Each structure stands twice: as structure tokens, then as C-alpha cells.
Amino acid sequence: DTAVSQTPKYLVTQMGNDKSIKCEQNLGHDTMYWYKQDSKKFLKIMFSYNNKELIINETVPNRFSPKSPDKAHLNLHINSLELGDSAVYFCASSQTRVAEAFFGQGTRLTVV
């Protein structure tokens, strides 16, 4: 029974397209995150939501928009995809905003 699940696992799409990645956690956590792991393997936080409220919004292009319909879900929508958006995107959750994070398996996005 997966704790943090994100779909799809792989996503190949053309430049200019709009795509969404979905994330759900069944741990009852209050806080959810989106991280990006680029080609240099750095994990960088993009967004964090606490009880559906945006609390962290790093320097991310406006083309990226998170949406949290409820505490258990945090989706990531990306408009006008660019080659540089190719990366692995990880969703995560934590019990509180200062607790350790539980990560999903990642979504490998390839923009061609």
C-alpha cells in the first residue's frame, strides 16, 4: 500500500505542451512538497503546501502551478513545456512542516 504515490512514472512530451503530474498521500500528513532533481542530481524544493495553503514557493517559472484540492493531494501542472524542464520530479509529504519527508517514486519527465 503505497504511502506517497505519483502518476505517471514516466512522461515524454513535446515542447510547448501542457502536462500534469498527480500526487496523493495516504499517511494523513499535513504538508506536501514538490521537488525537482535535475541532471546534476540536485534535489531542489519547488513548492510546499501545509493544510492546502502554499507556504513555500521557490524561484520557479510561472509555467509551473501547483494545486492542492485537499490535504492528501498535490498536483503539479506545467504549461508550455521547455527542454530544460526535463528532470525527475518528486512529490513528498511530512507529518508537519518540520518533520522528515516521505517521497514518492518520482516522475521522469522528458521534453523532446
Partner 1 sequence: DQQVKQNSPSLSVQEGRISILNCDYTNSMFDYFLWYKKYPAEGPTFLISISSIKDKNEDERFTVFLNKSAKHLSLHIVPSQPGDSAVYFCAARGRGTNAGKSTFGDGTTLTVKP
What residues line the site for partner 1 (CB under 8 A)? 4, 31, 40-45, 48, 50, 55-56, 58, 90, 92, 94, 97-98, 100-106
Q: Which lies closer to partner 1 via its Cβ, residue 31 or residue 75?
A: 31
Q: How far is the CB of 83 from partner 1 (least distance, A)?
A: 22
Q: Which lies closer to partner 1 via its Cβ, residue 31 or residue 85?
A: 31
Torsion of CA 45, 49, 53, 56, to 10 degrees: -20
Q: How far is the CB of 80 from partner 1 (least distance, A)?
A: 27
Report which of 52, 74, 87 is spatially closest to residue 5, judged by C-alpha positions: 74
* Count of other CB atoms within 10 angstroms of residue 81: 21
Q: How far is the CB of 16 from partner 1 (least distance, A)?
A: 28
Enter the C-alpha cell of residue 72. Answer: 492528501
Asked if 37 and 91 touch (Cβ cutoff 8 Å), the reply is no
Q: Which lies closer to partner 1 via its Cβ, residue 12 or residue 15?
A: 12
